[in-house]
Every structure is written in structure tokens, then in C-alpha cells.
């Protein structure tokens, strides 16, 4: 064993370090030469065969060779690592100038949109929103609204009964009763939400939506009611449109009226939507029947009031010229996307 052996191994190690193609190969070479069980450790074992004088010189020479190799290793390692990072950056880099993939944003359903629009118009007259349960006691859906036991609206054909005393509400008018019982006049409230009727065709859904207003105050007249609806019609459908009341009947209002407005599509000239009449029906209204006040314990005639109700899908159909009410619950995106703005 001679000192030349050390420099031979050193040269060989330097060569294989430089030949490494990547950091793993380089590391393997480091283990091979400088590792715990590597060639240099093996070399040190030969020290035993050396003379007393040679031993320290040999040890020193091995250590110098190892130091040189370690420094070389670090240099090559940092070069290789840099190269590898550059390569990875090339492959994995993000090009921020590319156009992004588009994310489709959700938007309100047309029923929601129309509801919000109506609420906002009537809020300007001091009305604020109330909600109520979808399953109502008979008393709220019928009895307190002066709908007697034998009224045709209670017929199985119209009402979904939950049990003997509970129904899926058939209109939003029970919200009037909850308000009359729980709040003190003067009141200007809106009730809105889902209503259910056992009915389904091109203009009827078993589950649809209503919005209704109730005003309770002193000296309330049909003129106030008509002024309110006329304001609303012009704000919602367009200015210049006329409002017409036709005598009608609701058990909870007296007198009662069917409300028409001049057709927003043809402006009253006559078209297929208004069936050439120039008028289109938008809802019901009237002065609150004294029986309703009595049922809910409101002091009549000190307080008087009016109420009006609209079908929300119907309002949307008229405003946007939608041909079939069944499009609303279908959730066909081609239909819904037309109401994005
Ligand atoms: N509740 C009535 C209906 O569903 C509408 C209405 C509301 C009528 C308020 C008059 C007053 O047809």
C-alpha cells in the first residue's frame, strides 16, 4: 500500500463525481468513495500494515484527499442542483399571460329576481318583508281569513292536506294573519314565498310563488289601494301603463277586485299575450274584511286596511314574455341563463 494509491483513488473519485448526470448519481458516488463503508474507509484499514512513521503521514494524506473530494462534491452538487431546478422550472412553470379558464358564476333564479325587484319597489312605499311557515294550520290558511268550512277553495282539488288540521299553504295570505296577531298597527308588510295547489297545466304549477302586501292604518280606502298598485305597475312593468279594477270576490277582502294592467307587451293595442283585449290580469286585491280583523283581534273600524296579492311566476311571464309556466321549475340552464343580468 503506497501513497500513490491515495492519489489514484482521488483521481478516480474526481472523475466519477464529474461524470454524474444528476444529484442521485453524484450522491451514490459520494457514498461509494467517502461513505462509512466507502473506499477511503477501506483504505484506512491498511494503516495497520504501515510503520510507526508512515502512519500519521498516511492518515494526513487520506484526510487531505477526502477534504479535496468533499469540496469538489459540494461544488458539483450545487451545479447539478441548479441545473435541475432550472429544468423543473421550465417544465412546471406557469405562464401568467395565458387566458384563464372561465368560471361560471351562479345567479338568482328568475323567481328570486322578480321577488327582489317587487320587494324593492314596495319598500319605497314603506313595506317590509315577512315570511311564514309552508305548512299552515287550517286556522291561518282558511279560518282566520274568513274562508268558511264549505268554501270551494278547501276542496281536495286545490289543497294539499298534511293532516286534518294542517295544509301546505295555498296562498301567502296566512302571513297577513301572523302579522295582525303578532304586530301592532300601523302596518305595511309584504309576505312572500312558496305556495301549493293541486293543479298543473300550461299556466298552473302545483308549487309556485306569491307576493302580497298588506297595509293597516287609519282611514284606508280603495283609492289608497289603487294608488299603491298603480305606482307598483308602472315601476315594475313600465311607466304609462294603466291599472284597472274589476269587481270580484275573496272571503278575506270586501270589496274585492281582480287587478288588470294594460298589456306591457303591446301597450294595450292587443296581442297574443293579452288575447287581443289590451288588458292582462295580474292579481287580486281589496279592503281587509272586518271579519279578518275580528278573528285576529284588531280593533276595527279604528284600524282599516287593504291587501293585494300577485303570482310571482305570472309577473315574470308577463314581464319577459315567457311562453310556459313549467319552464320555471325545470332548471334548464338555457332558460335560466337568459335572466343573468
Ligand atoms: N290570496 C289570494 C289568492 O291566492 C290573492 C289575494 C291576496 C287577494 C290579497 C286579495 C288580497 O288568490
| Residue bearing the CA closest to ligand 1, atom 3 | 171
pLDDT of residue 182: 97
pLDDT of residue 340: 84
Give residue 148 CA to ligand 1 midpoint distance, Å. Answer: 16
pTM of the model: 0.72
Residues with a CB atom less than 6 Å from ligand 1: 171, 173, 212, 250, 253, 284-286, 307-309
- Residues of the chain falling short of pLDDT 70: 1, 153, 156-157
pLDDT of residue 289: 98
pLDDT of residue 22: 93
> What is each CA distance from 18 to 69, 287, 309, in whole angstroms?
11, 99, 88
pLDDT of residue 222: 97
pLDDT of residue 214: 98
Q: If you write DSSP's letter for every residue of 205-236 in order, what string do you get?
A: -SEEEEEEEEEEESS--HHHHHHHHHHHHHHH
Give residue 309 CA to ligand 1 midpoint distance, Å. Answer: 5
pLDDT of residue 49: 86
Please tell me the distance from the alpha carbon of residue 40 to that of residue 75, in angstroms, as a whole number.
Answer: 20
pLDDT of residue 157: 64
What tens digit of pLDDT does each residue of 146-162 get? 998 888 767 766 899 99
What tens digit of pLDDT does each residue of 33-79 get? 999 999 999 888 888 888 888 888 888 999 999 999 999 999 999 99
Atom of ligand 1 nearest to the CA of 285: 10
Q: Give the CATH class of 110-339.
A: alpha beta
Amino acid at each position: 500500500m503506497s501513497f500513490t494509491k491515495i492519489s489514484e483513488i482521488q483521481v478516480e473519485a474526481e472523475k466519477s463525481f464529474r461524470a454524474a448526470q444528476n444529484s442521485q448519481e453524484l450522491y451514490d458516488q459520494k457514498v461509494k468513495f467517502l461513505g462509512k463503508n466507502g473506499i477511503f474507509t477501506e483504505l484506512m484499514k491498511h494503516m495497520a500494515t504501515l510503520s510507526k512513521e508512515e502512519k500519521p503521514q498516511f492518515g494526513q494524506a487520506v484526510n487531505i484527499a477526502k477534504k479535496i473530494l468533499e469540496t469538489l462534491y459540494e461544488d458539483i452538487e450545487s451545479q447539478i442542483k441548479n441545473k435541475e431546478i432550472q429544468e423543473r422550472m421550465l417544465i412546471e412553470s406557469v405562464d401568467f399571460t395565458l387566458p384563464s379558464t372561465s368560471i361560471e358564476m351562479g345567479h338568482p333564479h328568475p323567481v328570486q329576481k322578480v321577488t327582489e325587484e317587487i320587494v324593492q319597489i314596495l319598500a319605497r312605499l314603506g313595506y317590509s318583508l315577512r315570511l311564514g311557515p309552508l305548512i299552515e294550520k287550517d286556522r291561518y290558511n282558511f279560518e282566520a281569513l274568513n274562508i268558511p268550512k264549505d268554501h270551494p277553495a278547501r276542496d281536495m282539488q286545490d289543497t294539499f292536506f298534511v293532516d286534518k288540521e294542517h295544509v301546505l299553504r295555498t296562498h301567502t295570505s296566512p302571513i297577513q294573519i301572523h302579522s295582525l296577531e303578532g304586530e301592532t298597527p300601523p302596518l305595511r308588510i309584504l309576505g312572500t314565498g312558496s305556495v301549493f295547489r293541486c293543479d298543473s297545466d300550461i299556466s298552473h304549477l302545483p308549487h309556485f310563488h306569491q307576493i302580497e302586501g298588506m297595509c293597516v292604518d287609519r282611514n284606508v280606502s280603495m283609492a289608497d289601494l289603487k294608488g299603491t298598485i298603480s305606482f307598483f305597475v308602472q315601476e315594475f312593468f313600465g311607466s304609462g301603463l294603466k291599472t284597472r279594477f274589476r269587481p270580484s270576490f275573496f272571503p278575506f277582502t270586501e270589496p274585492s277586485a281582480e287587478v288588470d294592467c294594460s298589456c306591457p307587451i303591446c301597450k294595450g293595442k292587443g296581442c297574443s299575450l293579452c288575447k287581443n283585449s289590451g288588458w292582462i290580469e295580474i292579481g287580486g286585491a281589496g279592503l281587509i274584511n272586518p271579519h279578518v280583523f275580528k278573528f285576529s283581534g284588531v280593533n276595527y273600524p279604528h284600524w282599516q286596511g287593504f291587501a293585494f296579492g300577485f303570482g310571482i311566476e305570472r309577473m315574470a311571464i308577463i314581464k319577459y314574455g315567457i311562453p310556459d309556466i313549467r319552464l320555471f321549475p325545470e332548471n334548464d340552464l338555457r332558460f335560466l341563463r337568459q335572466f343573468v343580468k
